[in-house]
Structure 1
Amino acid sequence: MTSRSMLIFAAISGFVYVAFGAFGAHVLSKSLGTAEMAWIQTGLNYQSIHTIAVLALAAVMQRRSNLWFYWSSACLALGTVLFSGSLYCLALSDLKLWVFVTPVGGMFFLLGWILMLVGALRLRKKAERHE
């Protein structure tokens, strides 16, 4: 995932976040139950946070190439699709199999944050070597 593709993902994810959030608030809230709306809200919360994280990684990658940030952004993007997407599908369909997809997305979130930490720690080590 290049910084360009990270920016594209962030733009699409941000658009979907705003559009689906508005659709949920104005249309779905009239037909879905409390549990389903809570799943949508949780999906939106995680999507917004991880979209901003991917956007931040894209900005960093514009200045310096970092394989750890590359894989971090890929995991965060995949986590967003799997975690938030499965919650949206769970709320909008009768298929309960989506409950098995959600934790997989959560694992990709965790992996993405760990990879970001490793990448950040390695940035510090590189800076110290150049002094």
Structure 2
Amino acid sequence: MAKVYLLLATLFGASGVALGAFGAHGLRGKVAEPLLEAYKTGVQYQMIHALALLAVALLIQNWGERQSLTLSGAFFVFGLVFFSGSLYALTLGGPRWLGPITPIGGLLMIAGWVTLFIAAVNTPK
């Protein structure tokens, strides 16, 4: 899983930079300011959780495959997709039913941090 999470972290990081640039240059003046702020929040959380996923990949390489680390990475991936993805879609005119998906993504990201904490507590080092 370390390599999968490493690859996803790099893709989320690169796409986060690209999406941030698109938001700053392509959306300004084209969408309402509250939507632009939501979009920026999506980018910010994407970048933070790309780094968190990178950390999980490195920890798996260092500590070995552990259920808590694998689960933490999965929570980060799905949380990022649900949270940031729904904010991007809503900003670009997606259906309103995507709104309730955003907090589910947030809960998944919180679960990722909690399971990462559990992995850290249970490490012998």
Structure 2 distance, partners of 1:102, 1:89, is 11
Structure 2 distance, partners of 1:120, 1:94, is 39
Structure 2 distance, partners of 1:93, 1:27, is 15
User: Following TM superposition, by how much is the alpha carbon of 1:45 offset from its aligned partner in structure 2, in angstroms?
Assistant: 1.0
Structure 2 distance, partners of 1:94, 1:60, is 37
- Name 2:103's counterpart in structure 1: 103
User: Following TM superposition, by how much is the alpha carbon of 1:94 offset from its aligned partner in structure 2, in angstroms?
Assistant: 4.5
- Name 1:118's counterpart in structure 2: 118
Q: AA paired with 1:44?
A: V
- Name 2:4's counterpart in structure 1: 5
Output the TM-score relative to the length of structure 2: 0.95
Q: CA 1:94–1:51 in 2, change beyond 3 Å: closer, same or farther?
A: closer
Q: AA paired with 1:117?
A: F
Structure 2 distance, partners of 1:107, 1:63, is 27
- Name 1:85's counterpart in structure 2: 85
Structure 1 distance, partners of 2:73, 2:94, is 31
In the alignment, structure 2 segments of 5+ residues that lack a partner are none
Structure 2 distance, partners of 1:98, 1:35, is 16
Structure 2 distance, partners of 1:25, 1:78, is 25
> What's the RMSD between the two structures over aligned residues?
1.0
Q: AA paired with 2:67?
A: L
Larger Rg: 1
- Name 1:56's counterpart in structure 2: 55
What SS does structure 2 have at the residue aligned with 1:27? helix
In the alignment, structure 1 segments of 5+ residues that lack a partner are none
Structure 1 distance, partners of 2:94, 2:76, is 27
Report which stretch shifted further, 2-11 or 89-98: 89-98
* Residue-pair matches, total: 124
Q: AA paired with 2:83?
A: F
Structure 2 distance, partners of 1:28, 1:104, is 26
